[in-house]
Amino acid sequence: MMQYFKPTEDVLIEFDSSTGVTRTHSLPNVAAELEAALARLVANPENPTDDQLLAWAKTNYSTLNPMPERAALLQAVDRCGFLLDKAAELA
């Protein structure tokens, strides 16, 4: 079971009572990560056109498929949004 504590305005502590693992999150960093992920998602559309794929390939030639990055960005957006919502609930 996950428990959340907000000891200061800028810190959220996440505690997993089933594993005993504690994670500390800096809320300004979480907000910055959310903004960065959203900006990358805008540049990485769900159904890119051929021209968008070509432009992406020219920039990111070492990564063959943009979809795994998009999936990772969507997970980051969900995680950051969840943490910020939890922090707002505890305010």
Summarize pLDDT for 32-80 with one digit per residue, the tens.
999 999 998 887 778 888 998 888 778 777 666 667 878 888 999 999 9
The half-sphere exposure of 30 on its side-chain side, counting CA atoms within 13 A, is 21
Query: Is 57 part of a structural domain of the chain?
Result: yes
Residue 42 is predicted with a pLDDT of: 84
User: Is 54 a member of any domain?
Assistant: yes
Q: Is residue 65 part of a domain?
A: yes
Expressed as residue numbers, the domain containing 55 is 28-90
As to burial, measured by CB atoms within 10 angstroms (0-12 exposed, 13-18 middle, 19+ buried), residue 71 is exposed
Is the four-CA dihedral 42, 26, 14, 86 of positive or negative sign?
Answer: negative
Give pLDDT, residue 64.
61
Work out how many domains the chain is built from and give that number.
1
Helices and strands of the chain, counted as H and E runs: 3, 3
| Residue 74 within a domain | yes
Q: Regarding predicted confidence, which is higher, 15 or 49? A: 15
Asked if the structure places residue 83 within a domain, the reply is yes
